Structure 1
């Protein structure tokens, strides 16, 4: 998608502070962090939201979760705890329509649901 901000980050058109990258996914620090540690993890293939997941394109999800655990360990939040969040659709809080996961930690997080 030519107007997708995450696709532009993947292409290097918009700079990011990368935490992890391989052939399938990219992880980078969020520019508007909601916690002391806030990393965004995205697939390099454009998928608009969880609603577009299929048997054929969903394999990256397990890869994202395994990588999130590695990132949490590298950033020193694996033992204290962290949260992985995916928002789906406008009412679910999704603001960038390229599926992505937020890795949040570095403080005690609110446990109340909105």
Structure 2
């Protein structure tokens, strides 16, 4: 797969990933969640999972977001378990504020050396 072109917007997930997942190396997709290999990985094994509903970040979750948040965590749990099984370790991370390049809740599941 060719490297993704540099994206300069503020919500890669709503603008690119969710509307056209065929451009990605998808690990999981259902009505609520999309998970795929990161387009510009920071670690050897680097998957990102996002709710398909726009939620700005972990700290903006509301009770109406519960179905998406619950499903997101189920998918992250499954991918993390598989990562541990295949690589021996996994880390799960989300970013907030200025650490969050894309202003859409997303969770990184990663393992291996940093690239």
Specify the TM-score bucket, using the shorter chain as the normaliser.
0.7 to 0.9
| Aligned-partner Cα distance in 2 for 1:13–1:78 | 26
Structure 2 residue corresponding to 1:23, chosen from 27, 31, 43: 31
Q: Is the 8 A contact 1:69 1:78 kept in 2?
A: no
Counterpart for residue 4 of structure 1 = 11
> Which structure has greater helix proportion?
2
TM-score, normalising length: structure 1 = 0.77
Per the TM alignment, residue 36 of structure 1 is displaced from its structure 2 partner at its CA by 1.2
Per the TM alignment, residue 47 of structure 1 is displaced from its structure 2 partner at its CA by 1.1
SS of 2:23's partner is coil
Counterpart for residue 104 of structure 1 = 110
Q: State the Cα RMSD in Å.
A: 2.5
Q: Does 2:101 correspond to 1:95?
A: yes
Q: Does 2:45 correspond to 1:37?
A: yes
Per the TM alignment, residue 64 of structure 1 is displaced from its structure 2 partner at its CA by 2.0
| Aligned-partner Cα distance in 2 for 1:13–1:106 | 25
User: Could you give the per-residue CA deviations for residues 21-55 of structure 1, whole angstroms, max 9, x where no partner exists?
Assistant: 00000001112212111001000001111232111
Per the TM alignment, residue 3 of structure 1 is displaced from its structure 2 partner at its CA by 6.6
TM-score, normalising length: structure 2 = 0.76
Gaps of 5+ in 2: 1-8
SS of 1:66's partner is helix
Counterpart for residue 58 of structure 1 = 66
Q: Is the 8 A contact 1:35 1:105 kept in 2?
A: yes
| Aligned-partner Cα distance in 2 for 1:81–1:13 | 27
